[in-house]
Amino acid sequence: MAIRTSAAIAACKASHRAMRLLGRTARALPGKIALKIDPKVIGRLAAGHKTIVITGTNGKTTTTHIVQQAVINTYGTAAYDPSSTNLEQGIATTLCLDSSLGGKRKSDWAVIESDEGATKTLLPALHPQVMVVTNLYRDQVDRYTSWTTARDYIIQAAKSCPETILVLDADCQVTASIADAVPNRVMWYGMECPVYEEGIGDFDERVECVACGTPLEFGSRTFAHLGDYTCPGCGRKHHTPYIACTGIADRREKSCTLTLRIGSQERTVEANVRAGYDVYNAVAAVAGLLACGMDEDDVFGALAHFTHAAHRFEIFDIDGTRTRLLLMKNTAGCNQLINMLCSEGEPPKNLVCLLGAEIMDGLSTEWIQDVRWENICGPDTKVIVGGPKHDDMRERLLRAGVQPQNMRVQPDYPALIRDIAAIGEPVTLIGNCSPIEDFRVELVKKYQPLDYWSE
Protein backbone atom coordinates (compact mmCIF):
# COMPACT_ATOMS: atom_id res chain seq x y z
CA MET A 1 0.00 0.00 0.00
CA ALA A 2 1.37 3.42 -0.99
CA ILE A 3 2.43 5.68 1.89
CA ARG A 4 0.13 8.44 0.66
CA THR A 5 -2.84 6.03 0.74
CA SER A 6 -2.10 5.09 4.35
CA ALA A 7 -1.78 8.79 5.16
CA ALA A 8 -5.12 9.47 3.46
CA ILE A 9 -6.83 6.72 5.48
CA ALA A 10 -5.30 8.00 8.73
CA ALA A 11 -6.36 11.59 8.02
CA CYS A 12 -9.88 10.48 7.10
CA LYS A 13 -10.27 8.42 10.27
CA ALA A 14 -8.87 11.18 12.49
CA SER A 15 -11.03 13.93 11.00
CA HIS A 16 -14.09 11.67 11.12
CA ARG A 17 -13.51 10.92 14.81
CA ALA A 18 -12.99 14.60 15.62
CA MET A 19 -16.13 15.67 13.77
CA ARG A 20 -18.23 12.99 15.47
CA LEU A 21 -17.01 14.22 18.86
CA LEU A 22 -18.25 17.66 17.83
CA GLY A 23 -21.65 16.23 16.90
CA ARG A 24 -21.17 16.63 13.13
CA THR A 25 -22.26 14.07 10.53
CA ALA A 26 -18.68 13.63 9.30
CA ARG A 27 -19.27 12.05 5.90
CA ALA A 28 -18.05 14.46 3.21
CA LEU A 29 -15.13 16.40 4.75
CA PRO A 30 -13.05 13.38 5.89
CA GLY A 31 -13.26 11.93 2.38
CA LYS A 32 -12.39 15.28 0.85
CA ILE A 33 -9.24 15.36 3.00
CA ALA A 34 -8.38 11.79 1.99
CA LEU A 35 -8.78 12.60 -1.71
CA LYS A 36 -6.58 15.66 -1.32
CA ILE A 37 -3.80 13.47 0.07
CA ASP A 38 -4.35 10.58 -2.36
CA PRO A 39 -6.61 11.30 -5.35
CA LYS A 40 -6.62 7.57 -6.18
CA VAL A 41 -7.64 6.36 -2.73
CA ILE A 42 -11.08 5.15 -3.90
CA GLY A 43 -9.64 2.97 -6.65
CA ARG A 44 -6.89 1.61 -4.43
CA LEU A 45 -9.31 0.58 -1.68
CA ALA A 46 -11.92 -0.80 -4.10
CA ALA A 47 -9.44 -3.00 -5.96
CA GLY A 48 -10.01 -6.71 -5.47
CA HIS A 49 -13.37 -6.29 -3.75
CA LYS A 50 -16.97 -6.71 -4.90
CA THR A 51 -18.95 -3.53 -5.45
CA ILE A 52 -22.52 -2.75 -6.46
CA VAL A 53 -23.43 0.83 -7.41
CA ILE A 54 -26.96 2.26 -7.38
CA THR A 55 -27.82 5.48 -9.21
CA GLY A 56 -30.81 7.29 -10.74
CA THR A 57 -33.09 10.25 -10.05
CA ASN A 58 -35.57 8.65 -7.65
CA GLY A 59 -35.31 5.58 -5.46
CA LYS A 60 -31.56 5.12 -5.22
CA THR A 61 -31.36 5.57 -1.43
CA THR A 62 -34.17 3.12 -0.68
CA THR A 63 -32.78 0.64 -3.21
CA THR A 64 -29.30 1.00 -1.69
CA HIS A 65 -30.59 0.30 1.81
CA ILE A 66 -32.36 -2.88 0.71
CA VAL A 67 -29.20 -4.04 -1.07
CA GLN A 68 -26.85 -3.29 1.83
CA GLN A 69 -29.12 -5.05 4.32
CA ALA A 70 -29.21 -8.12 2.09
CA VAL A 71 -25.42 -8.10 1.74
CA ILE A 72 -24.88 -7.70 5.49
CA ASN A 73 -27.42 -10.42 6.30
CA THR A 74 -25.71 -12.79 3.88
CA TYR A 75 -22.02 -11.96 4.24
CA GLY A 76 -21.88 -10.36 7.69
CA THR A 77 -20.55 -6.96 6.71
CA ALA A 78 -20.46 -4.38 3.91
CA ALA A 79 -18.89 -0.99 3.32
CA TYR A 80 -21.74 1.47 2.93
CA ASP A 81 -22.80 4.95 4.01
CA PRO A 82 -25.89 4.94 6.26
CA SER A 83 -26.34 8.68 5.67
CA SER A 84 -26.55 8.21 1.88
CA THR A 85 -23.80 10.67 0.96
CA ASN A 86 -23.53 9.92 -2.75
CA LEU A 87 -20.68 12.08 -4.06
CA GLU A 88 -17.00 11.22 -4.39
CA GLN A 89 -16.01 12.60 -0.98
CA GLY A 90 -18.62 10.52 0.84
CA ILE A 91 -17.62 7.33 -0.97
CA ALA A 92 -13.96 7.99 -0.08
CA THR A 93 -15.00 8.32 3.57
CA THR A 94 -16.95 5.05 3.40
CA LEU A 95 -14.03 3.06 1.99
CA CYS A 96 -11.42 4.63 4.30
CA LEU A 97 -13.51 3.86 7.39
CA ASP A 98 -13.83 0.27 6.19
CA SER A 99 -10.04 -0.07 5.91
CA SER A 100 -7.09 -0.49 8.26
CA LEU A 101 -4.26 2.04 8.13
CA GLY A 102 -2.45 -0.45 5.92
CA GLY A 103 -5.33 -0.48 3.45
CA LYS A 104 -6.82 -3.87 4.35
CA ARG A 105 -10.59 -3.75 3.93
CA LYS A 106 -12.86 -5.20 6.63
CA SER A 107 -15.61 -5.99 4.13
CA ASP A 108 -15.49 -7.98 0.92
CA TRP A 109 -18.47 -5.98 -0.39
CA ALA A 110 -19.15 -2.29 -0.90
CA VAL A 111 -22.67 -1.01 -1.56
CA ILE A 112 -22.38 2.45 -3.08
CA GLU A 113 -25.11 5.00 -3.77
CA SER A 114 -23.90 7.40 -6.46
CA ASP A 115 -25.23 10.69 -7.74
CA GLU A 116 -25.90 10.35 -11.46
CA GLY A 117 -23.28 12.94 -12.38
CA ALA A 118 -20.67 11.37 -10.12
CA THR A 119 -20.81 8.01 -11.91
CA LYS A 120 -18.47 9.21 -14.65
CA THR A 121 -15.58 9.52 -12.18
CA LEU A 122 -16.61 6.87 -9.66
CA LEU A 123 -17.11 3.88 -11.95
CA PRO A 124 -13.59 3.93 -13.45
CA ALA A 125 -12.27 3.87 -9.87
CA LEU A 126 -14.68 1.31 -8.41
CA HIS A 127 -15.03 -1.15 -11.33
CA PRO A 128 -18.25 -2.55 -9.83
CA GLN A 129 -19.67 -5.94 -10.66
CA VAL A 130 -23.14 -4.40 -11.04
CA MET A 131 -24.64 -0.93 -11.51
CA VAL A 132 -28.38 -0.45 -10.93
CA VAL A 133 -30.00 2.54 -12.67
CA THR A 134 -33.47 3.33 -11.33
CA ASN A 135 -35.03 6.08 -13.46
CA LEU A 136 -34.15 9.47 -14.93
CA TYR A 137 -36.48 12.47 -14.65
CA ARG A 138 -36.72 15.97 -16.05
CA ASP A 139 -36.20 17.51 -12.60
CA GLN A 140 -32.44 17.44 -13.20
CA VAL A 141 -32.53 20.34 -15.70
CA ASP A 142 -31.37 22.87 -13.07
CA ARG A 143 -28.30 20.69 -12.37
CA TYR A 144 -27.58 19.56 -15.92
CA THR A 145 -28.04 21.20 -19.31
CA SER A 146 -30.86 18.80 -20.26
CA TRP A 147 -32.66 15.81 -18.84
CA THR A 148 -30.47 13.49 -20.92
CA THR A 149 -27.19 14.89 -19.56
CA ALA A 150 -27.35 12.64 -16.50
CA ARG A 151 -27.97 9.69 -18.82
CA ASP A 152 -24.91 10.62 -20.87
CA TYR A 153 -22.75 10.69 -17.74
CA ILE A 154 -23.94 7.18 -16.91
CA ILE A 155 -23.21 6.04 -20.47
CA GLN A 156 -19.68 7.45 -20.16
CA ALA A 157 -19.27 5.61 -16.87
CA ALA A 158 -20.56 2.30 -18.25
CA LYS A 159 -18.24 2.48 -21.26
CA SER A 160 -15.27 2.80 -18.91
CA CYS A 161 -16.28 -0.50 -17.23
CA PRO A 162 -17.60 -2.80 -19.98
CA GLU A 163 -17.45 -5.76 -17.60
CA THR A 164 -20.02 -4.17 -15.26
CA ILE A 165 -23.53 -5.64 -15.53
CA LEU A 166 -26.16 -2.91 -15.91
CA VAL A 167 -29.52 -3.40 -14.19
CA LEU A 168 -31.92 -1.02 -15.94
CA ASP A 169 -35.53 0.07 -15.45
CA ALA A 170 -37.28 -1.18 -18.57
CA ASP A 171 -40.23 1.16 -17.96
CA CYS A 172 -38.12 4.34 -18.16
CA GLN A 173 -37.32 5.11 -21.79
CA VAL A 174 -34.42 7.39 -20.81
CA THR A 175 -32.81 4.75 -18.61
CA ALA A 176 -33.47 2.11 -21.25
CA SER A 177 -31.69 4.18 -23.91
CA ILE A 178 -28.42 3.66 -22.01
CA ALA A 179 -28.35 0.11 -23.35
CA ASP A 180 -28.26 1.40 -26.94
CA ALA A 181 -24.92 3.12 -26.38
CA VAL A 182 -22.84 0.71 -24.29
CA PRO A 183 -21.33 -2.78 -24.68
CA ASN A 184 -22.30 -3.93 -21.18
CA ARG A 185 -24.57 -6.86 -20.39
CA VAL A 186 -28.03 -5.70 -19.30
CA MET A 187 -30.61 -7.13 -16.93
CA TRP A 188 -34.05 -5.49 -17.23
CA TYR A 189 -36.58 -5.01 -14.44
CA GLY A 190 -40.00 -3.35 -14.31
CA MET A 191 -43.66 -3.38 -13.29
CA GLU A 192 -46.37 -5.48 -14.92
CA CYS A 193 -49.23 -4.51 -12.61
CA PRO A 194 -50.81 -1.29 -11.30
CA VAL A 195 -48.82 0.39 -8.54
CA TYR A 196 -51.96 1.59 -6.72
CA GLU A 197 -54.98 -0.58 -5.96
CA GLU A 198 -57.31 2.38 -6.33
CA GLY A 199 -56.10 3.13 -9.85
CA ILE A 200 -54.69 6.50 -8.86
CA GLY A 201 -52.52 7.75 -11.69
CA ASP A 202 -50.10 10.58 -12.25
CA PHE A 203 -48.98 10.57 -15.84
CA ASP A 204 -46.98 13.03 -17.90
CA GLU A 205 -49.44 14.33 -20.49
CA ARG A 206 -46.98 14.11 -23.37
CA VAL A 207 -43.91 11.89 -23.41
CA GLU A 208 -41.62 12.31 -26.39
CA CYS A 209 -39.21 9.66 -27.58
CA VAL A 210 -35.73 10.40 -26.30
CA ALA A 211 -34.29 9.30 -29.65
CA CYS A 212 -36.50 10.99 -32.26
CA GLY A 213 -38.93 13.28 -30.43
CA THR A 214 -42.10 11.50 -31.55
CA PRO A 215 -44.84 11.26 -28.88
CA LEU A 216 -44.76 7.79 -27.35
CA GLU A 217 -47.71 5.42 -27.25
CA PHE A 218 -48.34 3.34 -24.12
CA GLY A 219 -49.92 -0.07 -23.68
CA SER A 220 -49.94 0.45 -19.91
CA ARG A 221 -48.52 3.05 -17.52
CA THR A 222 -47.44 3.18 -13.89
CA PHE A 223 -46.78 6.89 -13.26
CA ALA A 224 -45.02 9.94 -14.73
CA HIS A 225 -43.33 8.82 -17.97
CA LEU A 226 -42.91 5.18 -16.94
CA GLY A 227 -44.69 2.32 -18.64
CA ASP A 228 -44.94 -0.09 -21.56
CA TYR A 229 -44.04 2.33 -24.34
CA THR A 230 -43.66 2.19 -28.12
CA CYS A 231 -42.38 4.91 -30.43
CA PRO A 232 -44.35 5.04 -33.71
CA GLY A 233 -41.60 7.21 -35.18
CA CYS A 234 -38.38 5.24 -34.81
CA GLY A 235 -39.70 1.92 -33.53
CA ARG A 236 -38.04 1.98 -30.11
CA LYS A 237 -40.08 -0.04 -27.66
CA HIS A 238 -40.25 -1.30 -24.11
CA HIS A 239 -37.95 -4.21 -23.23
CA THR A 240 -39.56 -7.22 -21.58
CA PRO A 241 -38.17 -7.26 -18.03
CA TYR A 242 -36.38 -10.34 -16.80
CA ILE A 243 -37.51 -9.48 -13.27
CA ALA A 244 -40.96 -7.94 -12.91
CA CYS A 245 -43.58 -7.34 -10.27
CA THR A 246 -46.75 -8.95 -11.61
CA GLY A 247 -49.00 -8.52 -8.58
CA ILE A 248 -49.38 -6.67 -5.28
CA ALA A 249 -51.58 -8.16 -2.54
CA ASP A 250 -52.28 -7.80 1.19
CA ARG A 251 -51.60 -4.07 1.17
CA ARG A 252 -50.89 -3.32 4.83
CA GLU A 253 -49.83 -0.11 6.59
CA LYS A 254 -46.14 -0.94 6.43
CA SER A 255 -45.79 -3.89 4.08
CA CYS A 256 -47.32 -5.86 1.24
CA THR A 257 -47.07 -9.16 -0.59
CA LEU A 258 -45.49 -9.12 -4.05
CA THR A 259 -45.64 -11.60 -6.87
CA LEU A 260 -42.35 -11.44 -8.75
CA ARG A 261 -41.63 -13.03 -12.10
CA ILE A 262 -37.98 -14.01 -12.48
CA GLY A 263 -37.46 -15.26 -15.99
CA SER A 264 -40.36 -17.64 -16.52
CA GLN A 265 -40.87 -18.48 -12.83
CA GLU A 266 -43.16 -16.64 -10.42
CA ARG A 267 -42.60 -16.33 -6.69
CA THR A 268 -44.64 -14.70 -3.92
CA VAL A 269 -42.59 -12.74 -1.38
CA GLU A 270 -43.14 -10.43 1.56
CA ALA A 271 -41.83 -6.87 1.23
CA ASN A 272 -41.48 -4.39 4.07
CA VAL A 273 -42.58 -1.54 1.81
CA ARG A 274 -46.08 -0.25 1.48
CA ALA A 275 -47.70 -0.88 -1.89
CA GLY A 276 -46.91 2.15 -4.01
CA TYR A 277 -44.04 3.50 -6.01
CA ASP A 278 -41.52 2.08 -3.52
CA VAL A 279 -42.33 -1.32 -5.01
CA TYR A 280 -40.18 -0.17 -7.95
CA ASN A 281 -37.23 0.20 -5.58
CA ALA A 282 -37.83 -3.25 -4.13
CA VAL A 283 -37.82 -4.79 -7.61
CA ALA A 284 -34.67 -2.83 -8.54
CA ALA A 285 -32.91 -4.13 -5.42
CA VAL A 286 -33.94 -7.72 -6.14
CA ALA A 287 -32.65 -7.42 -9.71
CA GLY A 288 -29.35 -5.90 -8.59
CA LEU A 289 -28.73 -8.56 -5.95
CA LEU A 290 -29.57 -11.42 -8.30
CA ALA A 291 -27.26 -9.90 -10.91
CA CYS A 292 -24.52 -10.06 -8.25
CA GLY A 293 -25.16 -13.78 -7.89
CA MET A 294 -26.89 -13.73 -4.51
CA ASP A 295 -29.23 -16.58 -3.59
CA GLU A 296 -32.94 -15.80 -4.00
CA ASP A 297 -33.82 -16.79 -0.43
CA ASP A 298 -31.23 -14.38 0.98
CA VAL A 299 -32.55 -11.59 -1.25
CA PHE A 300 -36.18 -12.10 -0.27
CA GLY A 301 -35.30 -12.41 3.40
CA ALA A 302 -33.77 -8.94 3.31
CA LEU A 303 -36.79 -7.58 1.47
CA ALA A 304 -39.11 -8.79 4.22
CA HIS A 305 -37.11 -7.15 7.02
CA PHE A 306 -35.96 -3.96 5.32
CA THR A 307 -35.91 -0.66 7.26
CA HIS A 308 -35.90 2.74 5.57
CA ALA A 309 -33.15 5.34 5.70
CA ALA A 310 -33.41 8.32 8.03
CA HIS A 311 -36.19 10.86 7.25
CA ARG A 312 -37.77 8.48 4.76
CA PHE A 313 -41.03 7.39 6.36
CA GLU A 314 -39.88 7.65 9.96
CA ILE A 315 -42.42 8.06 12.73
CA PHE A 316 -41.72 10.25 15.77
CA ASP A 317 -43.78 10.80 18.90
CA ILE A 318 -43.30 14.50 19.65
CA ASP A 319 -44.81 14.84 23.11
CA GLY A 320 -47.91 12.94 22.08
CA THR A 321 -48.11 14.15 18.48
CA ARG A 322 -47.53 11.26 16.07
CA THR A 323 -45.43 12.74 13.28
CA ARG A 324 -44.27 11.00 10.13
CA LEU A 325 -41.48 12.35 7.95
CA LEU A 326 -41.76 12.03 4.17
CA LEU A 327 -38.99 13.05 1.77
CA MET A 328 -39.89 14.84 -1.47
CA LYS A 329 -37.27 15.39 -4.16
CA ASN A 330 -39.02 16.33 -7.39
CA THR A 331 -42.40 16.61 -9.07
CA ALA A 332 -42.81 12.94 -9.93
CA GLY A 333 -41.72 11.69 -6.53
CA CYS A 334 -43.84 14.20 -4.63
CA ASN A 335 -46.90 13.40 -6.73
CA GLN A 336 -46.42 9.75 -5.77
CA LEU A 337 -46.28 10.71 -2.09
CA ILE A 338 -49.57 12.53 -2.59
CA ASN A 339 -51.05 9.54 -4.41
CA MET A 340 -49.99 7.39 -1.48
CA LEU A 341 -51.63 9.76 1.01
CA CYS A 342 -54.82 9.81 -1.07
CA SER A 343 -54.89 6.02 -1.12
CA GLU A 344 -55.17 6.03 2.69
CA GLY A 345 -58.65 7.56 2.54
CA GLU A 346 -58.79 10.98 4.17
CA PRO A 347 -55.90 13.34 3.36
CA PRO A 348 -53.81 14.63 6.29
CA LYS A 349 -55.57 17.20 8.48
CA ASN A 350 -52.28 18.63 9.74
CA LEU A 351 -49.52 19.19 7.22
CA VAL A 352 -46.00 20.58 7.61
CA CYS A 353 -44.09 21.42 4.41
CA LEU A 354 -40.38 22.31 4.41
CA LEU A 355 -38.79 23.65 1.23
CA GLY A 356 -35.13 24.38 0.51
CA ALA A 357 -33.06 25.11 -2.57
CA GLU A 358 -29.53 23.97 -1.77
CA ILE A 359 -27.45 22.06 -4.31
CA MET A 360 -28.73 18.73 -2.98
CA ASP A 361 -32.32 19.96 -3.40
CA GLY A 362 -31.97 21.52 -6.83
CA LEU A 363 -31.47 25.27 -7.01
CA SER A 364 -34.91 25.99 -8.46
CA THR A 365 -38.21 25.55 -6.63
CA GLU A 366 -40.30 25.75 -9.81
CA TRP A 367 -40.97 22.03 -9.66
CA ILE A 368 -43.43 22.45 -6.78
CA GLN A 369 -45.79 24.26 -9.16
CA ASP A 370 -46.52 20.99 -10.99
CA VAL A 371 -47.10 18.98 -7.82
CA ARG A 372 -50.77 18.15 -7.29
CA TRP A 373 -51.08 19.69 -3.84
CA GLU A 374 -54.78 20.27 -4.55
CA ASN A 375 -55.35 16.55 -3.97
CA ILE A 376 -54.44 16.81 -0.27
CA CYS A 377 -55.04 20.49 0.52
CA GLY A 378 -58.46 21.95 1.21
CA PRO A 379 -60.14 24.74 3.15
CA ASP A 380 -59.90 22.77 6.42
CA THR A 381 -56.27 21.64 6.05
CA LYS A 382 -54.01 23.16 8.69
CA VAL A 383 -50.52 23.86 7.38
CA ILE A 384 -47.19 25.05 8.74
CA VAL A 385 -44.51 25.92 6.19
CA GLY A 386 -40.80 26.24 6.90
CA GLY A 387 -37.37 25.98 5.35
CA PRO A 388 -35.39 28.66 3.50
CA LYS A 389 -37.94 28.79 0.67
CA HIS A 390 -41.05 28.85 2.88
CA ASP A 391 -42.52 31.82 0.99
CA ASP A 392 -42.58 29.80 -2.26
CA MET A 393 -44.22 26.91 -0.44
CA ARG A 394 -46.77 29.18 1.21
CA GLU A 395 -47.84 30.79 -2.08
CA ARG A 396 -48.22 27.41 -3.79
CA LEU A 397 -50.32 25.88 -1.01
CA LEU A 398 -52.58 28.94 -0.82
CA ARG A 399 -53.30 28.45 -4.52
CA ALA A 400 -53.97 24.77 -3.78
CA GLY A 401 -56.87 25.71 -1.51
CA VAL A 402 -55.41 26.19 1.98
CA GLN A 403 -57.12 29.11 3.72
CA PRO A 404 -54.86 31.95 4.93
CA GLN A 405 -56.15 31.61 8.50
CA ASN A 406 -55.06 27.94 8.48
CA MET A 407 -51.53 28.70 7.24
CA ARG A 408 -48.56 29.51 9.48
CA VAL A 409 -44.91 30.21 8.68
CA GLN A 410 -42.28 28.85 11.07
CA PRO A 411 -38.69 28.92 9.76
CA ASP A 412 -37.13 28.17 13.17
CA TYR A 413 -36.84 24.40 13.65
CA PRO A 414 -36.77 24.23 17.48
CA ALA A 415 -39.87 26.44 17.50
CA LEU A 416 -41.43 24.26 14.80
CA ILE A 417 -40.91 21.18 16.97
CA ARG A 418 -42.74 22.92 19.81
CA ASP A 419 -45.54 23.93 17.42
CA ILE A 420 -45.93 20.33 16.26
CA ALA A 421 -46.01 19.06 19.84
CA ALA A 422 -48.85 21.47 20.59
CA ILE A 423 -51.04 20.10 17.77
CA GLY A 424 -51.83 16.87 19.59
CA GLU A 425 -53.13 15.15 16.44
CA PRO A 426 -51.28 13.15 13.76
CA VAL A 427 -49.01 15.31 11.60
CA THR A 428 -47.58 14.57 8.16
CA LEU A 429 -44.32 16.41 7.46
CA ILE A 430 -43.11 16.61 3.86
CA GLY A 431 -39.78 18.21 3.04
CA ASN A 432 -36.97 18.10 0.53
CA CYS A 433 -33.43 17.04 1.33
CA SER A 434 -31.67 19.89 3.14
CA PRO A 435 -34.53 21.26 5.27
CA ILE A 436 -35.81 17.86 6.38
CA GLU A 437 -32.26 16.85 7.31
CA ASP A 438 -31.72 20.08 9.27
CA PHE A 439 -35.08 19.64 10.98
CA ARG A 440 -34.27 16.05 11.89
CA VAL A 441 -30.92 17.09 13.42
CA GLU A 442 -32.87 19.26 15.87
CA LEU A 443 -35.55 16.61 16.35
CA VAL A 444 -33.24 13.75 17.38
CA LYS A 445 -31.65 15.88 20.10
CA LYS A 446 -34.72 15.05 22.17
CA TYR A 447 -36.77 12.43 20.30
CA GLN A 448 -35.95 9.09 18.68
CA PRO A 449 -37.91 7.51 15.83
CA LEU A 450 -40.54 5.01 16.89
CA ASP A 451 -40.50 3.22 13.58
CA TYR A 452 -39.76 3.48 9.88
CA TRP A 453 -43.00 4.05 8.03
CA SER A 454 -42.87 2.35 4.63
CA GLU A 455 -44.39 3.57 1.44
Residue 22 lies in a domain: no
Instruction: Judge if 321 and 444 occupy the same domain.
Output: yes
- Let me know whether 214 and 269 are in one domain: yes
Find the helix or strand (DSSP H, E) in which 261 lies.
strand 256-262
* 380 and 287 belong to one structural domain: no
Tell whether 208 and 347 lie within a shared domain.
Answer: no
Q: Residues 311-336: what's their mean pLDDT?
A: 86
Domain co-membership, 325 together with 294? no
Type of residue at 230: T
Q: What integer is the mean pLDDT of 342-346?
A: 78
pTM for the model stands at 0.85
Pairing of strands 321-327, 314-318: antiparallel
**Total of domains in the chain:** 2
* Among 247, 275, 304, residue at a domain's last position: 304
In a domain, 9, yes or no: no
Position 198 pLDDT exceeds 90: no
pLDDT score recorded for residue 140: 54
Q: Are residues 235 and 171 in the same domain?
A: yes
Say if residue 212 is in the same domain as residue 133.
Answer: yes
Q: What is the pLDDT of residues 15-73, one digit of tens each?
A: 999 988 887 777 889 999 999 999 999 999 999 999 999 999 888 988 999 999 999 99
Residues 260 and 148 in one domain: yes
Residues 362 and 256 in one domain: no
- What is the domain extent for residue 167? 41-304
pLDDT at 454: 32
Domain end position, chosen among 284, 304, 324 = 304
Confidence of residue 452 (pLDDT cuts 50, 70, 90): very low
Q: Does 329 share its domain with 273?
A: no
CATH of the domain at 343: 3.90.190.20
Query: Does the structure show a pLDDT above 90 at 195?
Result: no
Radius of gyration of the chain (CA): 22
Over pLDDT 90: what percentage of the chain?
A: 68
d(CA 49, CA 93): 16
Looking at the fold, whether 235 and 378 belong to one and the same domain comes out as no
Top-confidence residue, 136 or 360: 136
Residue 312 is predicted with a pLDDT of: 66
Asked, for residue 150, whether it belongs to a domain, the answer is: yes
Q: Is there a single domain that holds both residue 331 and residue 278?
A: no
Cα separation, 399 vs 381, in Å, equals 13
